[in-house]
Amino acid sequence: MATYDFLFDNLGLRAWCDAGKTGDGPLSMADLLAKANGPKEASIWDLPFPSLDALNDACGRVAQSRDLTKGVENAFLAVKNPLQFVLDPITQPLSWILEFALYTFDVTPWWLMFPILMLVVFLASRSFRMVGLVVACLGFLALIDHYDYAMQTLAIIFVCAFLCVLMGVPIGIAMSRSNTLQRLTIPVLDMLQTLPAFVYLIPLIFLFSVTEPKLYGIAIILYAIVPVIRLTDLGIRLVDEEVIEASDSFGMTDRQKLFGVQIPLALPNIMAGVNQTIMMSLAMVVIASLVSAPGLGVLVLRGIRNLELGVGLVSGLGIVLLAIILDRVTKAALNRINAAQKN
């Protein structure tokens, strides 16, 4: 006896329901519990919501909720192979690049790495204070033997942020030139930005092998590419109308205008996007340790899994230090550009 029997009886669908009955479907947990407790007196307080499962009890023709999850899974598995066939070769270079970067950061000795990073920081920020900050932070991490982990994290961020900029800036430029494209792209960007970070990993785990670096590479890039696209689009759209008009009036070609005027004037916004992209890469690379991304995130994960409080907290501090130096250095570079363009 099921609660909603009366519904199908009154609608005259009983025969249809019974005809479709192919014996009881698999029992749900609730069914088992009900069996164990014996028949209960029906009361208005126990009235179940007419969900798929409740209706299925009354009429075998109605699908069960578990069929939905099963259906999604089957659909996904059905497209998995063709999708893999296409995506695997395309994304393979990402694995190579990540492996190469991890390898390079690994084999470069610290006494070579420090000067290189100092030089990069100085070129970006033109500030000795910034170089000092970076040396202090990295020096501390090295002192507590977190240097290798920090370098792995940095390597992944460098690669992913670089690829984000490489792809995001052209996409942003294309968006700024076409309102249609902008309208089509913004919902996708909104979705990428609102999806919880973990959800990125689920379809990717199915598509790619967990042992491959490209799995987390793709997750990080999808998550972190949004701000650089948005801000490139915005930056180019915000370029002073009169300057664009002037460029046209001097007979600039579209190319001259794009590279000589629009991109340079949008650079402060683009750099703000790059800053955010780097910070989001860092956030994602920690989460991606769930799918075998190396680096400080692995230690955090160990802290959680094994309840090793100290390990988790110290590596968390390491991530904060990395975040600080990445943020400060990119902001310093941004300020330098802003100062040069002050109107």
Residues that bind another protein (CB under 8 A): 240, 242-243, 245-246, 248-253, 256, 260-261, 264-265, 267, 340-343
Residues 6+ apart with CB under 8 A from 288: 156, 201, 216, 219, 220, 297
- Residue 46 or 242 having the CB closest to another protein: 242
The tokens for 287 are 């989460």
Least distance in Å: CB of 256 to another protein? 6
Judge whether 137 and 325 are in contact, CB under 8 Å.
Answer: yes
Least distance in Å: CB of 266 to another protein? 11
- Residue 264 or 316 having the CB closest to another protein: 264
Q: How far is it, in rounded angstroms, from Cα 292 to Cα 212?
A: 8
Whose CA is closest to 325, among 107, 139, 47? 139
Least distance in Å: CB of 337 to another protein? 8
Least distance in Å: CB of 333 to another protein? 15
Residues 6+ apart with CB under 8 A from 201: 219, 287, 288, 290, 291
Give the number of residues written for the chain. 343
In sign, the C-alpha dihedral spanning 40, 42, 43, 45 is positive
Least distance in Å: CB of 272 to another protein? 16
Whose CA is closest to 224, among 312, 148, 156? 156
Least distance in Å: CB of 343 to another protein? 6
